[in-house]
């Protein structure tokens, strides 16, 4: 049996290491990881500066058919316009590494935004995957909702139709809208975590 001093030392080491591991991933119901990122116009954004507002993070890849489903149909743009009009901060995030599907330059992304009439608050460029790894983003699209207190209240799929067919959008249960509607009404989010669907995020590693 280990002595008490040894057990105490092990416990102290575990406690010291735990925050490092916890900070590496977003956890629903816990404070969302703080971040600093640069958008496609060169402006820097931090999560902290948007405290007091709902924040949506939308992982994006232009080349992914599941992403195209929601853009070609106009669904994602409609959601962006609807919720930003209600004061929500909406960040589209691109974590595709150079040379992989979905990687774009700032100029290419701004051209795409204009072409698609997309209207997020900003597009955060994350070619090194730092923000993606911080939140554990796995697919495009994948959605996260952070409440005004800075707590992560939703992570997962945009809706309950995990196909690349735009025809499946009609009649789908949109989990993102559900989460924002419930939270803004002071109600608990019924589905705070769902399994995301789409293409894998094209990280460098």
* Strand 36-39 versus strand 122-125 pairing type: antiparallel
**Torsion-angle region of 193 (φ positive above 0: left; ψ -120 to 50: alpha; else: beta):** beta
Helix count and strand count (H, E) for the chain = 6, 9
CA–CA separation, 163 and 170 (whole Å): 12
CA–CA separation, 50 and 61 (whole Å): 25
pLDDT (tens digit per residue) in 104-146: 999 999 999 999 999 999 999 999 999 999 999 999 999 999 9
Which CATH architecture describes the domain 26-200? Answer: 3-Layer(aba) Sandwich (3.40)
| Percent of the chain at pLDDT exceeding 70 | 88
pTM comes to 0.88
- Residue 153 above 70 pLDDT? yes
What pLDDT is recorded for position 55? 98
What pLDDT is recorded for position 25? 78
CA–CA separation, 118 and 41 (whole Å): 15
Domain ranges within the chain, ordered by starting residue? 26-200
Mean pLDDT over each residue of the chain, to the nearest integer: 90
What pLDDT is recorded for position 1? 39
Residue for token pair 């507002």 = 53
């Amino acid at each position: 049996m280990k002595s008490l001093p040894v057990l105490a030392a092990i416990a102290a080491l575990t406690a010291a290491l735990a925050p490092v591991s916890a900070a590496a991933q977003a956890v629903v119901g816990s404070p969302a990881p703080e971040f600093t990122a640069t958008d496609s116009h060169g402006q820097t954004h931090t999560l902290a500066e948007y405290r007091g507002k709902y924040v949506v993070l939308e992982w994006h890849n232009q080349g992914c058919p599941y992403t195209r489903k929601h853009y070609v149909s106009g669904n994602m743009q409609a959601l962006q316009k609807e919720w930003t009009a209600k004061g929500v901060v909406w960040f589209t995030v691109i974590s595709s590494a150079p040379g992989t599907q979905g990687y774009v330059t700032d100029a290419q992304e701004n051209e795409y935004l204009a072409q698609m009439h997309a209207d997020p608050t900003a597009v955060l460029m994350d070619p090194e995957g730092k923000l993606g790894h911080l939140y554990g983003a796995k697919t495009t699209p994948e959605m996260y909702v952070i409440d005004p207190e800075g707590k992560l209240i939703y992570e997962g799929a945009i809706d309950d139709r995990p196909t690349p067919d735009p025809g499946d959008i009609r009649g789908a249960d949109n989990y993102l809208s559900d989460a924002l509607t419930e939270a803004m009404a002071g109600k608990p989010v019924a589905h705070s975590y769902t399994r995301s669907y789409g293409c894998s995020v094209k990280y460098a590693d």
